[in-house]
Structure 1
Amino acid sequence: MPFRTKETLEAWLAEFAELGYPVSDRLRVMPQDGTEGHDTGLIGLDLVNAGTVTYLQPEPIGSTHWAVTFEAREQDVKLDAGRALELSTELAMLSALCAFLQTKSAAFIASRAAAPVA
């Protein structure tokens, strides 16, 4: 569906940043083709203090609901108070972004359903 294109998701990330959220330069739309070449919607972030690959995507694929996935790690992460605070700031931003993407996706679907059929 069109709301999962790289261009749309990049525009939504820019809109999210304009709302004043501390969007990381490491946050990026990742190319991923689903069945029949359709974009599935995948946004990645390497957490600065956790060394964990993290991504957001519709769950289940094709849904307007978004989820954050943290890939498994092989080693423990130990952080001092300052680094833990930095990580918590990134996690708060991810949570807000996940809700934002879900809202944008639902609004997109609702606008398509309300549009007259030509």
Structure 2
Amino acid sequence: MPFRSKETLQAWLDEHTASGADGGGVAYVADQEAVDGRDSGLVVYPLSNATTSVYLQAVAVGRPEWRVTIEAQPEITELSPEGIYDLCRELKNVADLCSFLQAKSVEHLMSFREADSAS
């Protein structure tokens, strides 16, 4: 059973979006070369209110923990109070998505282990 394949992650993103929890975000699964024959699972969440890249990925293959990486900004970002509120909403949506992906990974691992122990 593929773990964090592009298809699995896309299904999880679709589920998250259908729940209305994405806050109108535009996260997508990035095309990546497989590491050691496995999908690495990189989700990109473009921010509208900053010039930096934000992406989510699992800590390690076979582990359910996910982390958010916020890359250094190429330029200074100046925002109004409203812009800061919008950025905060975007970052909250990123945190919610990260928690969702981690929960789905825990479920996925548990079902895989149960199926493995049943055979």
Give the TM-score normalised by structure 2: 0.89
Instruction: Name structure 1 gaps, 5 residues minimum.
Output: none
Determine what percentage of the aligned residue pairs are the same residue. 39
What is the CA RMSD across the aligned residues, in angstroms? Answer: 1.5
2:78 aligned residue: 78
Q: Note if contact 1:40-1:62 (Cα within 8 Å) is conserved in structure 2.
A: no
1:89 aligned residue: 89
Q: CA deviation at 1:83?
A: 1.1
Does residue 12 of structure 1 match 2:3? no
Q: CA deviation at 1:61?
A: 4.3
- The 1:64–1:45 alpha-carbon spacing in structure 2 relative to 1, beyond 3 Å, is same
- Spell out, residue by residue over 1:17-70, the C-alpha distance to the aligned partner (whole angstroms, 9 max, x if none): 122121423x11001223233111100022111011110000134421000001
The SS at the match of 2:69 is strand
The SS at the match of 2:49 is coil
1:24 partner amino acid:
G
Q: CA deviation at 1:80?
A: 0.3
Does residue 63 of structure 1 match 2:63? yes
Task: Provide the rounded CA distance (Å) in 1 between the counterparts of 2:63 and 2:32.
Answer: 16
Q: Note if contact 1:58-1:66 (Cα within 8 Å) is conserved in structure 2.
A: yes
Task: Provide the rounded CA distance (Å) in 1 between the counterparts of 2:44 and 2:4.
Answer: 14
- Spell out, residue by residue over 1:79-98, the C-alpha distance to the aligned partner (whole angstroms, 9 max, x if none): 10111111111111110110
2:107 aligned residue: 107
Report the more deviating stretch, 70-79 or 46-55. Answer: 70-79
Instruction: Name structure 2 gaps, 5 residues minimum.
Output: none
2:25 aligned residue: 24
